[in-house]
Structure 1
Amino acid sequence: MGPESLPTRVLTLVGLAGVGKSTIARGLGTLWGWDVWDLDRMIEARTGFTVTRIFQEQGEPAFRALERDALAEALAGERRIVATGGGAPADPGAMDAIVANSVSVWLRARPGLLARRLLADGGRPFVDGYDHDEAFAVLADQLARRKRHYERATFVIDVDDLEAPAAIEAIHALVGRQLAAP
């Protein structure tokens, strides 16, 4: 893929929770000298509340409205990497906007691996208090519902066996030279 075929100089990372979108976005931002737009962090900064608290107190529809606004703003620029929340691409119209306004990468990983990672890291309300089998079931269900949206990404990178530095290098090798060129 040559630079003339790239629709924009925005890279959007999509995938399930725990796949490494935020970490990889920060690494690419450092490598390319680009801004990182992490939708969850943007929402937290704007509202003064954690994503968990917004979900608990205001519900998912309120959170998704905030996320839609943050995504629209993030996609409206250049030289930026957007780390979406896991559910963002499944919101009506979101993946259309991502595809139209960015080069996108689905960071794909097995739900079992993500369940282990999320349970070890903690802080994810949708798996708090769950054992591995329960967390796996939640993630497998999310993947089943979101896969058709994730599959619309420009590229797919399997990150099951990749640590963040290797995933960053894989994305850079795939699209970075075209996107990050001055």
Structure 2
Amino acid sequence: MTHLRVHIPAEIIPRTIVLVGLMGAGKTSIGRRLATRLGLPFVDADHEIEAAAGCTIPEIFERFGEAGFRDGERKVIARLLDGPVHVLSTGGGAFMDQETRALIREKGLSVWLRAELDLLVQRTARRDHRPLLRSGDPREILRGLMEKRYPVYAEADLTVDSDDSPLEETTDRVVEALHLHLLGAPAPQESASQENER
């Protein structure tokens, strides 16, 4: 069976696409694939924050606390949004900051990758680099974060479910949602082989 795929010309994307959602939702993995599909650069805000600070995010939390981290995060995201159009993956708490959220609303196109608790627990258990999960039971921490953050994430321009299907399928759903949002019509389908012939 031929896999059908949507194509969006990069030139019709007016603003940076900002991926928001909880840790483990797939913002970086989907973001890289989305950028490739759209012919845009990919930027990970967390990496940019670490580069600007000269230390890791856990070290920033340890030295300056979450408030200090959010201040740096806000400045970095503001700088990135002033640059050329790209796909931007943000940390789980970025969209919760009122100023950052207003900046994203003004200068970006936000996409919430919405994921269920079991999937987030499974994905975040693979790596031990998330400061917010070090203070107790990760499942309960994630559950609390979902209750607090999901109503705010719902303010994003688009919502796409991130589940345990292959990453390419989730990326397809994001592209289709963007197509509908930007052009106001369901996306025409083309096969992956047709796209590769371009």
Report TM bin, short chain: 0.7 to 0.9
**Could you tell me which residue of structure 2 aligns to residue 87 of structure 1?**
93
**Could you tell me which residue of structure 1 aligns to residue 176 of structure 2?**
173
Structure 2: any 5+ residue segments left out of the alignment? 1-8, 184-198
- The one-character-per-residue Cα deviations of 1:130-161 (angstroms, maximum 9, x if unpaired) are 5xxx2111011112221222011111111123
Q: CA deviation at 1:59?
A: 0.9
**Residue 146 of structure 2 is aligned to residue 143 of structure 1:** yes
Residue type of the partner of 2:140?
A: A
Work out the CA distance in 1 between the residues paired with 2:116 and 2:56: 27
Q: 1:36 aligns with which of 24, 28, 42?
A: 42
Structure 1: any 5+ residue segments left out of the alignment? none
TM-score by length of 2: 0.78
**Residue 161 of structure 2 is aligned to residue 161 of structure 1:** no
**Could you tell me which residue of structure 2 aligns to residue 8 of structure 1?**
14
DSSP 3-state at the match of 1:120: coil
Q: 1:96 aligns with which of 72, 85, 102?
A: 102
With over 3 angstroms needed to count, the CA separation of the structure-2 counterparts of 1:34 and 1:138, relative to structure 1, is same
Q: CA deviation at 1:176?
A: 5.0
Residue type of the partner of 1:149?
A: V
- The share of aligned pairs that are identical, in percent, is 34
With over 3 angstroms needed to count, the CA separation of the structure-2 counterparts of 1:119 and 1:128, relative to structure 1, is farther
1:60-71 superposed matches below 5 A? 60-71=66-77
TM-score by length of 1: 0.85
Work out the CA distance in 1 between the residues paired with 2:102 and 2:77: 12
DSSP 3-state at the match of 1:122: coil
Contact 2:113 2:159 in 1 (8 A): yes
Contact 1:99 1:152 in 2 (8 A): no
With over 3 angstroms needed to count, the CA separation of the structure-2 counterparts of 1:145 and 1:129, relative to structure 1, is closer
Which structure has the greater CA radius of gyration? 2
Residue type of the partner of 1:55?
A: F
With over 3 angstroms needed to count, the CA separation of the structure-2 counterparts of 1:81 and 1:125, relative to structure 1, is same
Superposition RMSD in Å: 2.3
Q: 2:61 aligns with which of 50, 55, 62?
A: 55
